[in-house]
Amino acid sequence: MGRPPCCDKIGVKKGPWTPEEDIMLVSYIQENGAGNWRAVPTNTGLLRCSKSCRLRWTNYLRPGIKRGNFSDHEEKMIIHLQALLGNRWAAIASYLPQRTDNDIKNHWNTHLKKKLKKQLQTDPNLKDDSFIASDKGQWERTLQTDIHMARKALCEALSLDKPTTTTTTDTTTITTTTTTTTSSDHDHHQQELLLMKPSNVDHQNGCYSYTAKPSVIPQQKQPSSYASSTENISRLLEGWMMSSTKNPEISSNQTNSETTRCSFNNKTAESSSSEGSSSAPFEQSFESLLIGFDSSTTATTTTRTTNTATTTMTTSSSVVQLFQDECKPDFEITMPSVAAAPLMLLEKWLFDEGAVQDHEDSLEISLEGTPELF
């Protein structure tokens, strides 16, 4: 007897998600946070497998996901990381925080693999191994250096009581604290980290800022942690509008709800640029869904003091959990162990503009044989 399926196969819907389903899922996660996927279908009424809900969230609806064309830099990153890590897409995706592993995997399979294959065919002298090996050496050396730096930083963090490092990058702006291993410090910093929440989300540039909120954190759910999903909802509704004209399932229902859908779509479409207002009931219900989305998206700077964090120890666990769940996939801000610290630095190094630039130089060297790839 094998393990029972994660969900009852009977009555479970498969195939593409409809906007209605997306909205149900999003609103549920907004209310309850991501996690306990098993309960999601039950609590939302979605006729979907819990795993399907999780995948839909992580691969499509999750805040901060960048879609569309991969930049040259991203492609280079993927190629090199793939050479180093193999098909460990999740690991590769951790270096491209705005991309999902699925997205990277698809891009690799549909674009990059062919590019490389073509390149290898046109230039048989270009051996994959040598290509990887030379670069790998550079990476490993840099990794060693970073581990050393990380250890040093850790030592400093342990010796100083105000461990604060600021990471500012071109693609990601994170203000965080150095994680430590001593119990008190660790807990303290963990709590500081957990109290930070996305205060500024710039999807255009993929820029996040995290700000420790003052002590006023309600006992109940914190919808604002879904603040960055406005674009996602807007996007899915755009898809809704498009698909509604051809999706029989939806178009068949296009009767009285069509107008409200249109107006909501307009609203969400413009919501990214301005604060509009409309009286459509459907829209209002969505507005309430989006409310809490945060006012802070207009903030442009990140400010954070140690005081604010230390005075907010009464945070409800749900909030903490919610934020953990929201952020972990993107930035791994909460470091469960000291072992993650070097990784953090490595990530910092990877995304640091200067470092990337420097590193790109080395990439250029190692990619000299494949200039036409890019």
Partner DNA sequence: AAACCTAACAACCGCCACGAG
Partner DNA sequence: TCTCGTGGCGGTTGTTAGGTT
Interface ranges with DNA (CB under 7 A): 3-4, 6, 13-17, 35-38, 48-52, 54-56, 58-60, 67-68, 87-91, 101-103, 105-107, 109-111, 243, 246
User: Phi and psi of 90, rounded to 5°?
Assistant: -65, -40
For residues 211 and 265, which CB has a smaller minimum distance to DNA in the complex? Answer: 265
Q: Measured from the CB of residue 28, what is the shortest distance to DNA in angstroms?
A: 13
For residues 238 and 360, which CB has a smaller minimum distance to DNA in the complex? Answer: 238
Q: Measured from the CB of residue 114, what is the shortest distance to DNA in angstroms?
A: 7
Q: Is 71 exposed, middle or buried (0-12, 13-18, 19+ CB in 10 A)?
A: exposed
> Chain-centre distance of CA 304, in angstroms?
22
Q: Measured from the CB of residue 246, what is the shortest distance to DNA in angstroms?
A: 5
For residues 152 and 328, which CB has a smaller minimum distance to DNA in the complex? Answer: 328
For residues 88 and 127, which CB has a smaller minimum distance to DNA in the complex? Answer: 88
Q: Measured from the CB of residue 321, what is the shortest distance to DNA in angstroms?
A: 11
Which residue, among 200, 264, 259, has the nearest Cα to 236 in the 3D structure?
264
For residues 20 and 360, which CB has a smaller minimum distance to DNA in the complex? Answer: 20
User: Phi and psi of 138, rounded to 5°?
Assistant: -65, -45
For residues 9 and 127, which CB has a smaller minimum distance to DNA in the complex? Answer: 9
* Distance in angstroms between the alpha carbons of the first and the last residue of the chain: 51
For residues 109 and 220, which CB has a smaller minimum distance to DNA in the complex? Answer: 109
Q: Measured from the CB of residue 322, what is the shortest distance to DNA in angstroms?
A: 13
Q: Which residues of 294-314 are buried (b: 16+ CB within 10 A; e: fewer)?
A: bebbeeeebebeeebbeebee
For residues 52 and 211, which CB has a smaller minimum distance to DNA in the complex? Answer: 52
Q: Measured from the CB of residue 368, what is the shortest distance to DNA in angstroms?
A: 25
Q: Measured from the CB of residue 177, what is the shortest distance to DNA in angstroms?
A: 23
Q: Measured from the CB of residue 256, what is the shortest distance to DNA in angstroms?
A: 24
Q: Measured from the CB of residue 307, what is the shortest distance to DNA in angstroms?
A: 31
For residues 81 and 356, which CB has a smaller minimum distance to DNA in the complex? Answer: 81
